[in-house]
Amino acid sequence: MNRFTRAGLSALATALFTCVAVIASAAPLRVGSDVSYAPLEFYGPSHAMEGFDIDLVRAIGAKLGEPVVIVNHTFDDLIPSVKKGSFDIAISALSDTRTREAQVDFVDYLLAGSGMLVPAGNPHHVFDLGGLCGLRVDVQRGTSQEAAIDEQSKACTSVHLGAIHVTTFATDAEGFKAFEAGKSDVHITDFPVVAYLAKSSGGKYEVAGRQFALVPYGIAVAKGNVALRARLVAALAGVIADGTYDRLLKKWGLEQGALRSVPVNAGTLFSK
């Protein structure tokens, strides 16, 4: 026996049409990321985007019920692009710093410091930033590491030691290539990246000393977009609550940086 009347079928069809229309009209979440920073974001063997940040923002998009479009973009233009509306958000191992908070808001999702990669055996005996005086260092342009190395170089010359010879690159991958080619003595980047590079080098490289300048990574969102910021906080809280966050941390070996809440602009707590 047919359980639906003509009116019932019409109502069902209308409801389905409405649902499809809503889904079809849902604007994608436009995400900017510098996809050159394994294990946070990188291109895998199949040339598809991979990494913790990529997985996390897709999980957040699923919670929001929005498709996610991730665009590979120059790191030092990510925040300006969010400010002018080219991207809704940026996720790219962006350290939440006091300086950056003056430009955008951050929904924080992971704790990480910076680290130093050196050849196996640590031939220059580098264990902290003070050991970099007179050495050649590569770093990605526009990063918190670049600012830290510039400050340390001034400290070196103030006590009559050699300045740090810094070469900056548009991407971390380019900097690492220079290091591999022997053009720099130390490759400096985020600690999760350094650890990943050392682990995947087959013993060719090692991490020097401990991580420094511990700060949260944050998802950048425009200052005036309070509604989106609130929705991101709620979506990320859901990703943490349902266990997805822990699964992704384990997948990419980032368990030590776990956050159990979703703070906004917490980087000021780690600033001097």
- Per-residue pLDDT reduced to its tens digit, 114-152: 999 999 999 999 999 999 999 999 999 989 899 999 999
Sequence spans of domains, the chain: 28-110+215-270, 113-214
Q: How confident is the chain (272 residues) per 10-residue block, as mean pLDDT?
A: 41 40 65 95 95 98 97 96 98 94 97 95 96 97 92 97 97 95 97 92 95 93 97 98 97 91 93 66
Residue 67 gets the label, from left (phi > 0), alpha (psi -120 to 50) or beta, of beta
How many residues make up the chain in this entry? 272
Q: Which CATH number fits domain 113-214: 1.10.1040.10, 3.40.50.300, 3.40.190.10, 3.40.50.920?
A: 3.40.190.10
State whether CATH 3.40.190.10 applies to domain 28-110+215-270: yes
pLDDT at res. 203: 96
